[in-house]
């Protein structure tokens, strides 16, 4: 319809000069600022990550390992408001507030490690599949399908179970599950780009695959990968917490899921706090990254773009 022609924001050319891409990001930021929900998400993320980073300043770190809950064996199951334990304590005398704050740090660590690992793996696998094509592509994609054919949580659960309960193993399990999406995205992009005539042009000029890769494929893959990564920053923590809730984290870890499961034992006796506060944190964390990821997708997705 004629109107769109006037209203639509100019879509950035696939692999335009750096200038256009910069302008694109300029637009993006403006878009983000315009969208209230995304802004809220951003604010939450900033708050959470701030809490994670400044945890040592917020609350006295436990020695020697600050990622372990400090346990006050003299004050088990204290309700919120107890002096020294504003949010109460767990059945092991752990200070819930400490868990809440350092849990953020644990979660940040978890999500950063997992996401970066998975992005790299996805990048490698996806690019190999996309560029080499043929048998290798076929094989890799089948592999991807197989990984996709087991529900995320269950797969991670099985892996973590086999590796034994520890935070490190949770990281491994999640990494093993989350790389698949990226592989798909990247492969899709590579193939898409390969079909674009200007890449052929580049070939004609005698551009090396590597340069095409760095000049065209990578920059264009960024957008979808960024969106996925943002969403995963939240999902990783969500599933990670679920695993440790089920009981696959190491003992006494300052992690939200662990605290929730500890608190669960006490709810019948009316001890609601030990599970409520940490769980809330998981929710907020996941919510924040979902809001932002969702916002980004709406903005970046060309389909919705025309409609906005």
Partner 1 sequence: MTFASAPEPAVDTAGTVASVVGLRVHFESKAGRVHAVDGVDFDIRDGETLGLVGETGCGKTVTARSFLRLVPMPPGVHAGGSIYFRPHVRCSNCSGLGCDVCAGTGRLPVACGECAGGGCPHCDDTGFETIDLSRIPERQLREIRGDRIAMIFQDPAKALNPALTVRSQIAEVFSQHRSDEVLELAGLGTSRNPLLRRHVSQTTRLFERWLLALPPMRSQRRRIEQVIDGMVAAALAETQIPNPAKVMQRYPHELSGGMKQRAMIAQALACNPDLLIADEPTTALDVTVQARIIELIKQLQVRHESAVLYISHDLSLVRRVCDRVAVMYAGRIVEIGPTEEIFANPLHPYTRGLIAAIPSRAHDRGQLVAIKGTVPELIDPPPSCRFVQRCSYAVSICGEIDPELASGPGRHAAACFIHNPPEDAAELPSFSRVTT
Partner 2 sequence: MQIRDYVLRRMMVLPILIIGTSLIVFTLTRVGGSPIGIYLSHEMTPEEVAEVEQRYGLDEPLPVQYLTWAGGMLTGDWGWSGVAAAPVRQVFPDKLGATMELAVAAGIVAVALGIGLGTYGGARRDRLPDHLTRVFSISGAAMPIFWFGILLLIVFWVGLGWAPIGRSDADIFQSIAHPTGLYTVDAVLAGSWNALVDAIWHLILPAIALGFGTTAIITRMMRSSLVETMGEEYVDAARAKGLPEKLVLRRHARRNALIPTVTVIGLSFGFLLQGTVVVEIIFRWPGLGRWMADAVLRGDQATIMAYVMFTSVLFLLVNLVVDVMYAYLDRRVVLGA
Partner 3 sequence: MKLGRNVGARPLWAVFLVMAMVMAACTGTTTDTTGGGADTTTDGGEAPATTGGEPSDTTAPPTGGVTNPETFVHAADDEPTSLDPAQVEAGEGGETVILQVYDRLVEFTPDGPDLIPGIATEVPSTDNGGISEDGTVYTFTIREGVVDHEGNPVDATDVKYSWDRALTMDLPESNVGLLADTVASTEAPDASTFVVTLTQPNAAFLNSVVTQSVASIMSEEFVEANGGVEAGTPNEVIATNPVGTGPYVFEAWNRGENMLFTVNESYWGTPANLDLRIEIVPDPDVRVLGVRAGDYDTIETDPSFVGDIEGAEGVTVFQGEFLLEPIHIGFNLNYPVDQLPPEDTVPADFFYDPLIRRAFNHAFDYEAFVNGALGGFGAPTPFYLPQGVLGYSEDLPVYSQDLAMAEQLFRDAGVWDEGFTVSVIAEGGNLFEIAALVLKDSLEGLNPNFTVNVLALAEAQFDEAHASDPVPYALWVKNADPFADPHAFQSEYMDPEGNWGQVHGMANGYQDPETISSMIDEASVITDPAEREAIYHELSAMFYDDPMWIIAGNEVAVMAYRDWVQGFVMNPLWPRPSLKFALFDKG
Give residues 4-63 in contact with partner 2 (rule: CB under 8 A).
Answer: 37
Judged by beta carbon distances under 5 to 8 A according to partner kind, the member of partner 3, partner 1, partner 2, none in contact with residue 291 is partner 2
Q: Minimum distance between the CB of residue 5 and partner 1, rounded to whole angstroms?
A: 5
Name the DSSP class of 260.
H
Q: Minimum distance between the CB of residue 177 and partner 3, rounded to whole angstroms?
A: 20
Q: Which stretch binds partner 1 (CB under 8 A): 3-11, 136-144, 167-175, 221-229?
A: 3-11
Should residue 133 be labelled a site residue for partner 2 when binding is judged by CB under 8 A?
no
Q: Which stretch binds partner 1 (CB under 8 A): 6-14, 176-184, 210-218, 252-260?
A: 6-14
| Contact present, 211 and 234 (Cβ < 8 Å) | no
Compare residues 66 and 240 and give the one whose CB is closer to partner 2. 240
Q: How many residues belong to the site for partner 2 (CB under 8 A)? A: 53
| Contact present, 180 and 148 (Cβ < 8 Å) | yes
Judged by beta carbon distances under 5 to 8 A according to partner kind, the member of partner 3, partner 2, partner 1, none in contact with residue 2 is partner 1
Compare residues 153 and 218 and give the one whose CB is closer to partner 2. 153
Q: Which stretch binds partner 2 (CB under 8 A): 93-101, 177-185, 202-210, 281-289?
A: 281-289
The stretches of 133-272 forming alpha helices (DSSP H) are 134-148, 152-163, 167-195, 197-205, 209-212, 218-246, 256-264
Helices 167-195, 152-163: axis angle to 10 degrees equals 140
**CA 239 – CA 259 distance, rounded (Å):** 15
Compare residues 12 and 150 and give the one whose CB is closer to partner 2. 150
Tell whether omega for the bond before 64 is within 30 degrees of 0, i.e. cis.
yes
Q: Minimum distance between the CB of residue 250 and partner 2, rounded to whole angstroms?
A: 14
Judged by beta carbon distances under 5 to 8 A according to partner kind, the member of partner 2, partner 1, partner 3, none in contact with residue 88 is none
Give residues 151-210 in contact with partner 2 (rule: CB under 8 A).
Answer: 151-155, 157-164
Angle, CA 293 vertex, CA 289 and CA 297 arms, to 5°: 170
Question: In 3D, which of 28, 5, 24, 26 has the Cα closest to residue 16?
Answer: 24
Question: In 3D, which of 240, 260, 253, 256 has the Cα closest to residue 103?
Answer: 256
Distance (Å) of CA 149 to CA 57, 146, 155, 252: 44, 5, 9, 34
Compare residues 66 and 130 and give the one whose CB is closer to partner 2. 130
253 bridge partner residues: 68
Per-position DSSP letters for 288-302, written without gaps between them: HHHHHHHHHHHHH-H
Should residue 141 be labelled a site residue for partner 2 when binding is judged by CB under 8 A?
no
**CA 253 – CA 276 distance, rounded (Å):** 17
Give residues 7-36 in contact with partner 1 (rule: CB under 8 A).
Answer: 7, 9
Give residues 246-285 in contact with partner 1 (rule: CB under 8 A).
Answer: none
**CA 141 – CA 180 distance, rounded (Å):** 9
Query: How many Cβ atoms are within 10 Å of 239's Cβ, its own excluded?
Result: 24
Compare residues 121 and 272 and give the one whose CB is closer to partner 2. 272
Which two three-digit tokens encode residue 1? Answer: 């319809």
Binding site for partner 2 (CB under 8 A): 37, 142-143, 145-147, 149-155, 157-164, 234, 238, 241-242, 245-248, 257, 260-261, 263-264, 267-268, 270, 272, 275-276, 279-280, 282-283, 286-287, 289-291, 294, 303-304, 307
């Amino acid at each position: 319809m004629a109107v769109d022609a006037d209203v639509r924001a100019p879509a950035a050319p696939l692999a335009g000069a750096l200038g256009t891409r910069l302008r694109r990001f300029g637009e993006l930021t403006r878009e983000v600022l315009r969208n209230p929900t995304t802004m809220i998400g951003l604010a939450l993320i900033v708050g959470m990550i701030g809490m994670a980073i400044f945890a040592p300043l917020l609350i006295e770190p436990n020695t020697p390992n600050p990622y372990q809950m400090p346990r006050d064996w003299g004050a088990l199951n204290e309700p919120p408001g107890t002096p020294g334990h504003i949010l109460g304590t767990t059945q092991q005398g752990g200070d819930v507030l400490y868990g809440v704050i350092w849990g953020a740090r644990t979660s940040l660590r978890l999500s950063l490690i997992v996401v970066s690992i998975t992005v790299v793996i996805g990048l490698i696998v996806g690019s190999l599949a996309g560029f080499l094509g043929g048998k290798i592509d076929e094989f890799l994609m089948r592999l991807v399908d197989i990984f996709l054919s087991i529900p995320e949580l269950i797969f991670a659960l099985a892996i973590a179970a086999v590796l034994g309960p520890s935070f490190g193993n949770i990281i491994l399990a999640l990494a093993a599950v989350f790389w698949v999406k990226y592989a798909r995205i990247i492969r899709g992009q590579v193939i898409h780009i390969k079909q674009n005539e200007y890449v052929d042009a580049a070939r004609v000029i005698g551009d090396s695959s590597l340069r095409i890769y760095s000049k065209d494929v990578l920059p264009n893959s960024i957008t979808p990968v960024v969106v996925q990564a943002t969403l995963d920053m939240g999902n990783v923590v969500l599933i990670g917490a679920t695993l440790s809730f089920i009981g696959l984290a190491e003992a006494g870890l300052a992690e939200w899921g662990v605290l929730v499961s500890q608190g669960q034992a006490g709810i019948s006796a009316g001890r609601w706090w030990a599970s409520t506060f940490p769980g809330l944190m998981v929710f907020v964390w996941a919510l924040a990254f979902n809001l932002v990821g969702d916002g980004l997708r709406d903005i970046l997705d060309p389909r919705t773009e025309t409609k906005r």
